[in-house]
Chain A
Amino acid sequence: MSQNDFLHLMPLLILTFAALLIMLVIAAWRNHKLIYVITAVSFVAAFLSLFELRGVVSYAIEPLLVIDGFALFYIGLILATALLISMLSYAYFEQQKEQKEEYYILLTLATLGACVLVVSTHFASLFLGLEVLSVSLYALVSYLRVRERSDEAGIKYLILAAFSSAFLLFGMALVYFSTGTMTFAGIATAMATLPELPLLLLTGFGMMIIGIGFKLSVVPFHMWTPDVYEGAPAPVTAFVATVSKGGVLGLLIRFFMEVEGFRYPTLMLIFTIVAIASMFAGNLLALMQQNVKRILAYSSISHLGYLLVAFLAGNRIGMEAVTFYLVAYFITTVGAFGTVALLSGEARDAEQLEDYRGLLWRRPWTATVFTAMLLSLAGIPLTAGFVGKFYVLAAGVNTQQWLLVVMLVLNSVIGLYYYIKIIAVMYQQPDTEREPQQRQRPSVYVASVGTLAVLAILLVLVGVYPTALVQLIQDMLYNMPAVVAR
């Protein structure tokens, strides 16, 4: 590796060193605050190092990785989200009796795995990145083991993730068998001459879609989502819903752009069915839930369905829409789970609808932020979610995918119901004056409250003035050769 390679990998190297540093510091002196500060600083440092790389057109570290504008944008998105989640984690874990310091090592490593996913151009780096992400998440999901549901969630995630990895590997083997290469570019070259997919290659792609679909939790690979979301600590749930899915989606876009998967009708048909099924299953199942975390889990399934609508457009507007929607979805989801984390106590998370009754009267600001997040998830104007959904619709209409567009509109209406249900509960007058919750020292809460405030401001800012973000995304896609060609 040359010095230039190190320079271009700086964000990933900073994360690696942060994980090692935290481990050494824990060995010397266990202190939650210190570890938390180290984690936050290293996320900020890694994020700032991206500006050093601004303007890199495409820098390949053969054969495994490539750094380009697309990768930089997605790494930036992942790092910013991870930073916000770590800020929310501090107050949440401060009240736990569990040893908290290892959480930050695992969080850093999981973020690193997601970053590797979006820069990989080779099956080997793809799989290693995915496994670093998954293995860290196994432990993170069941981190608070004294809780009732954590073991169940951890085991479910472990078994299903390992199973889906096996599918992914089998798929990779079949693709390698029929193309003779594991680099994305090599597969693209091998496929360029084929008018339609040979059966063996199609089987390989099908198995890879199972592995990827599990990580994205799209129907029919969504069974684990509500249980894992419910059992995991709220900040970890936010991480699973955002960073882990964003990394895999970035990888999917890169792979499909590279091999021009959009010109094969069979693959498109698979994704169309998956998208429609995800939208309907997510929204309809969410209607019956009484548990806020489960509602948000089903809502995330349907949001992935919306994202696939834009993904299926397969052109530049489609990719812009996916990326924009992803940013809006990240802001909103972290905000929503952040509120859940803020309200949670030591024994359990604030996950029952009952916990939110009359929240507006008890904690008006928190309730306002949560309302804004839910409205954004529903896609109400003036929020980021609305602009995102509008962008997705535009991409769908642009490529005349009327079926998908109609389904999206229909589902947005269904979705409105359960978001409004939570909001209605928050605005109800509480029947009895409840004992005010035991508050912690205000200094502990500063980070959480500040993060939620930042998220709320971002939400409105992106919703009212999306031009800046759109410009940024367009610049970033200009730097991706595969996209410019279309």
Chain B
Amino acid sequence: MELTFYIAAAVAILSTVMVITRYNMIHALLYLVVSFLAVAVVFFTLGAPFMAALEVIIYAGAIVVLIIFVIMMLNMTQEDVQREKEWLQPATWVGPAILSAVLLAELVYIVVAADTPAAGAVVAVDAKFVGLALFGPYILGVQLSGILLTAGIVGAYHLGRQKKKVIHRFLQERSAAA
């Protein structure tokens, strides 16, 4: 089981890196699906089969498909891929990447150096247990999530209703200069 965990975790990290570095949006999204599936496997090996199923159904299933539909409607062409490529020059990302790598190394050192408690036997948390927790002690948390969604929907409704196109001032200046 431990080996499965490590393989799935490695796949998740690799596919997420691929999501960031792809020039073509659709390719990036397909890697995102892989990343979600890998995370689902991680959940499964840690004893949360219900969470794994939710991850597949909601994230990989519903959300990414929605994003893919939107991108297909945007009608991306080869030009957009080219522009993506121009934006993602090594000069842009090498500096931050090196600094982040240093931080990552520190974090890895901290996690490795810490005397972590020995992992207990994996206990499967099934749907019934999740349901009992959510509608038992954490009922207020569920209600707060509902409020969170309300805020998101009302905000999205208001911001999405506008027809007027507003351009960022930097872009405006550039287009005026060109």
Contacts and interface: CB of A to CB of B under 8 A. Distances in A.
Given A99-B161, A125-B140, A135 B110 contact: no
Given A125-B144, A151-B168, A200 B111 contact: yes
A106 B148 CA distance: 11
Main secondary structure of the interface of B (DSSP, over half): helix
Contacts of A413: none
Interface string B73-93: 000000000000000000000
A135 B148 contact: yes
Nearest to A112: B147
Interface stretch (B33-41, B46-54, B152-160): B152-160
Given A124-B138, A146-B164, A198 B114 contact: yes
Main secondary structure of the interface of A (DSSP, over half): helix
Interface string B145-178: 1011011101111110110101011000000000
Interface in A97-120: 99, 102, 105-106, 109-110, 112-113, 116
Interface stretch (A56-64, A383-391, A437-445): A56-64
Interface centre among A109, A149, A152 (most CB of B within 10 A): A109
B155 A138 contact: yes
A136 interface: yes
Contact of B110 (A136, A138, A200): A200
A63 B151 contact: no
Contacts of B61: none
B144 A132 contact: yes
Contacts of B139: 1
B162 A132 contact: no
A112 B147 CA distance: 9
A194 interface: no
Interface string A259-299: 00000000000000000000000000000000000000000
Interface string A121-156: 000110011011001101110110110111110100
Interface residues of A, number: 46
B141 interface: yes
A93 to B, nearest CB: 13
A290 B76 CA distance: 43
Given A146-B166, A152-B169, A200-B111, A105 B141 contact: no
Contacts of A49: none
Contacts of A62: 137
B113 interface: yes
Interface string A1-39: 100000000000000100100010000000000000000
B148 A131 contact: yes
A199 interface: yes
Nearest to B159: A139
A106 B151 CA distance: 6
Nearest to A26: B154
A63 B168 CA distance: 45
A105 B147 CA distance: 11
B148 A132 contact: yes
Nearest to A65: B140
Interface of A: 1, 16, 19, 23, 61-65, 99, 102, 105-106, 109-110, 112-113, 116, 124-125, 128-129, 131-132, 135-136, 138-140, 142-143, 145-146, 148-152, 154, 177-178, 180, 198-200, 203
The list of the 10 closest CB pairs from A to B, nearest first, reads A139-B155, A128-B144, A200-B114, A136-B151, A109-B151, A102-B158, A135-B151, A145-B162, A132-B148, A199-B110
14 contacts: A63-B138, A102-B155, A102-B158, A109-B147, A109-B151, A124-B141, A135-B148, A138-B155, A139-B156, A139-B158, A143-B158, A148-B166, A154-B159, A198-B114
